[in-house]
Amino acid sequence: MRLRYQLEWLDSGQPRHELAPGRYLLGRGGRSDLVFDVPGVSREHAEVLICADRGLLVRDLGSTNGTFVDGERITEGAWSGDITLDLGSVRLHLRERGGLDALVLALDASATASPAATDAPPTAAPTAVRNLLRELQQAVDEARPLDACVWPAPALSNLLQRWCEHSGATLLRVQCGATGDVLAQVGTPSEAELVVLAECGNWQLAGQVLAGAGYALAHAGEELLRWALPAAPAATSAHAPVTSSQDWPGLASAAPAMRAMLEPLARVATANLPVLLLGETGVGKELTAHWIHRRSPRRDGPFLAFNCAALPRDLLEAELFGVERGAATGVEARPGLFEQAHGGSLFLDEVGDTAPETQVRLLRALEDGRLVRVGGRKPVVVDVRVIAATNRDLESEVAADRFRLDLYHRLAGHVARIPPLRERAEDIAPLALHFFRQALARSGRRSAGISAAALLALQNWHWPGNVRELRQAIERAVVLLDEGQALDRSHLPQAMRNEPAPGVDALRMDHALQRAERDALIAALTIAGGDHERAWALLGIGKTSFYKKLREHGLGRGGPAA
C-alpha cells in the first residue's frame, strides 16, 4: 500500500493517521471514517479524497460551521502539498507523503515486525537505515529539476553524486538493462562486484556499495527509476520492446484519441522513417517530435527545431542548407541546420509554408542525403531524420499545386494527427495541475491549490489555442496570485470565466439536466485524474453508459474502440 498523506490532529495528543489513496468521510459520527467528537463538528462534516498520483480534494458536506483550508472557507477544491484543515474547533494538518517518505514509514512499521515477516532485512541497524533513507530523500528534493517531468542526465548525475556521498558508494550508475547503455554514472569502477540494486522496466540502478547501504539504496533507487523512466531519454534500442500503451514518456494522456495516435507512433519512433505531424497550432507538435527523437536510435545525436515560416525564402535556404564562403561579399562559410543535425533529428515546423524553390532543395536532400550550400558547388553528405509538422491540409495543398506531391511522399513516411485539446477533455485538469506546479516552482510562490470552480471553467472552455493556450492561462493566473492564495475562476482570462446570461431555453428542465450531467462527468474525470474506470465508478454508472455520455456531451471520443 502506498501512503500518500499523514493526518495529525493538532493540540490534541491523538495519534497520527497514515492515509492511503481513497475517500475519507470526516465528522462527529454517522458514517464518518475519521471521527472527531468535539463541539463545532457536524455529524458528517467534510469529505477528503486522497488522489493516487498526487494531491487531494476536499469537499464540505453542508456543515454548520464550515470547512477551512489554510484559513480560507471552501466549498470544494483541489490541493497539492501540505495543508491545514479546520473543521469547527478541530485543526488538522495533512502532510503529503510519497516516494521515499512512504518507504521510511514502511521501514518504521517493519522495525517491530518479526524477522520472518521481512523479505530482506537490512544488514545495518534500522535507525541507521531510516536516517540514510531520509538523507537520500533530501538529496532527491535538492537535485530535482524545476520541470518535475524532466530528469535529464546531468540532473541524474548530480543526484547520484549526492547519493555516493551519503552512502559511501564508490560507483553508482543508471543504465538500460536491455542494451547496457549508461544514462548517468558517478564514481570510479573498482575490482568490487557491480551489483544491480533496483530495476523498473528496462532501467536499472547499479553500483559498488557498502553492505549497510544496499537496502536503502535499493528502495530509494526503485522510486527514482519510477520518476526517471517517464522523463529521461529512452535507453532502448531499435529492437527493444515498445513500452506499454499505458506509458507515454513526456506525453502522458488519458484521452483515447491521444493514445490511439501514440501507440503506432511509439513503434515508428524506433525506426528511421520520416514522420509528418499534423495538428492545429499549440497542440504540442514540437514536444511530440522531441519525444520521437528520444525514443529513436538517434537519441544520442542532436535534435534541432526550426520554424519554416519564420524567414523569407533566401534566408530560409541559408539557414537550412548553409552558406559557402564567398557567396556574398564578406560572407564566411557556415553550416546549415541539416549539417548541424548530422546523426540526429531535424524538426521542420510549418513545412507547408515553404516556397516551391525551397521544396525542390528539400526533396533533393531527403532523396539522396546530399545538399549544396548556398553559393557552393560541392555536395555535402548528411545523415538526418526529418520530422516535419504543419497545421495545413497538405493533401489539399498538393491538389492545389502549392505543395509538391513527391516531397509530400518523402515527408509522410508515417502521418500522425495530434488531436486538439477540445477532443481531449480528460487531459485538461491533469495538464492544468502540471503547468500550475511548474509555474509555482519557477516563481517560488506558495498556493493553496486550484479551486473546483477554476477547473470547471477550464473544462468548459473550447481551447482554440490548445495546450499552449492552457499553459499561458495558468502561468498568467499564477502571476496574479497572492502568497498562499488558491487559483480561482477570477484569476483566469476574462473570456474563460465569463458565463453567458441564461436565455429562455436555459430554463427548460431538460437543458438544466443536460448541464448538470455534463458537469458531473467533468467533475468525475477531474477527481479521477482522467482514469475512466475510476470516473464511472464515482458516477455510479456502467462502462457502456459512461462512454455513451462522453460522446453525447463531446467529452473525448467516447471509448477505447472509438
Residue 474 pLDDT: 92
Residue 127: how many other CB atoms lie within 10 Å: 10
107 pLDDT band, cuts 50/70/90, is: very low
Pair (285, 410) in one structural domain = yes
Q: Nearest Cα to 178, choosing from 103, 239, 106?
A: 239
Q: Which residues contact 48 (CB under 8 A, 6 or more apart)?
A: 19, 23, 24, 26, 56, 57, 58, 85, 94
The reported pLDDT for the residue numbered 249 is: 46
Task: Return the residue matching grid coordinates 568490487.
Answer: 192
Q: Is the pLDDT of residue 126 over 60?
A: no
Q: What is the DSSP letter of 502?
A: P
Are 64 and 83 within one domain? Answer: yes
Tell me whether strands 385-390 and 345-349 are parallel, antiparallel or unpaired.
Answer: parallel
Angle at 6 between CA 4 and CA 7, to 5 degrees: 130
Band the pLDDT of 97: cuts 50, 70, 90: low
**401 and 269 in a common domain:** yes
Average pLDDT over residues 316-342: 82
Question: Collapsing DSSP states into helix, strand and coil, what is residue 366?
Answer: helix
What pLDDT does residue 416 have? Answer: 93
Q: What does the pLDDT read at residue 246? A: 38
- Checking if the pLDDT of 209 tops 90, the result is no
Tell me, yes or no, whether 495 and 516 share the same domain.
no
Q: Look up residue 527 and give its three cell numbers.
A: 477527481
Q: Report in angstroms the alpha-carbon separations of 4 from 57, 111, 146, 277.
A: 13, 20, 22, 39
pLDDT of residue 390: 94
Closest Cα to residue 459, out of 506, 427, 491? Answer: 427
> Regarding predicted confidence, which is higher, 148 or 157?
157
Which of 120-134, 225-239, 325-339 is predicted with the least confidence, judged by mean pLDDT? Answer: 225-239
Judge if 166 and 271 occupy the same domain: no
pLDDT beyond 90 at 225: no
450 and 381, same domain (yes or no): no
Per-residue pLDDT for 112 more than 70?
A: no
DSSP 361: H
| Bridge-based pairing state of the strands 414-417 and 450-451 | unpaired
Query: Could you tell me if 269 and 411 lie in one domain?
Result: yes
Residues 6+ apart with CB under 8 A from 446: 440, 483, 484
Q: Give the number of other Cβ atoms within 10 Å of residue 217's Cβ.
A: 26
pLDDT at 229 over 60: no
pLDDT class of 244 with cuts at 50, 70, 90: very low
Question: Do residues 445 and 515 both lie within one domain?
Answer: no
Same domain, 309 and 407: yes
Check pLDDT > 60 for residue 503.
no
What is the pLDDT of the chain when averaged over all its residues? 77
C-alpha 183/C-alpha 157 separation (Å) is: 9
Domain count of the chain? 5
Distance between CA 152 and CA 184 in Å, rounded? 9
Ranked by mean pLDDT, which of 167-181, 223-237, 270-284, 448-462 comes out on top?
270-284
E runs forming strands in 240-351: 275-278, 303-307, 345-349
The residues facing 413 across adjacent strands are none
- pLDDT category, 236, cuts 50, 70, 90? very low
Q: 437 and 366, same structural domain?
A: no
pLDDT of 409 above 80: yes
Residue 88's pLDDT is what?
87
Rounded Cα–Cα distance for residues 410 and 385 (Å):
11
Domain-embedded: residue 434: yes
Conformational region of residue 187, where left means phi above 0, alpha means psi within -120 to 50, and beta covers everything else: left
pLDDT of 42 > 50? The answer is yes
Lowest mean pLDDT among 255-259, 419-423, 449-453, 524-528: 524-528
**DSSP 8-state symbol, 335:** -
Task: Report the C-alpha gap between 118 and 521 in whole angstroms.
Answer: 44
- The residue-averaged pLDDT of 209-238 equals 59
In the prediction, which pLDDT does 329 show? 63
